[in-house]
Amino acid sequence: MIKIRRLNQSELVINAELIEQVEATPDTIITLTTGKKIVVLESSDEVVEKVIAYRLACIKPVVAIKPTDI
């Protein structure tokens, strides 16, 4: 899940796994796999950074486990 802000400054948490594409028009538009579009304040680069941070956080616990720990 990533936290983003709508144009009216309200916070929204979305499932990063459902992001299909991010468009950088004058406004940033996130399209979900469901077809829903969300216009956000963050730039497309910021959205990508948040998704990368989310995915790294998801795999970090797995990477931290050593084969000898299993």
- pLDDT tens-digit readout, 6-29: 999 999 999 999 999 999 999 999
State what percent of residues in the chain have pLDDT above 90: 79
pTM, entire model = 0.81
23-39: pLDDT as tens digits: 999 999 999 999 999 99
Report pLDDT for 21: 97
Q: Of the candidates 8, 10, 14, 7, which has an alpha carbon nearest to the alpha carbon of residue 47? A: 14
How far is residue 5's CA from residue 47's CA, in Å, rounded to a whole number?
A: 10
The domains of the chain, with CATH numbers, are 2-69 (2.40.50)
**Is pLDDT of 64 > 70?**
no
Largest Cα span, the chain: 51
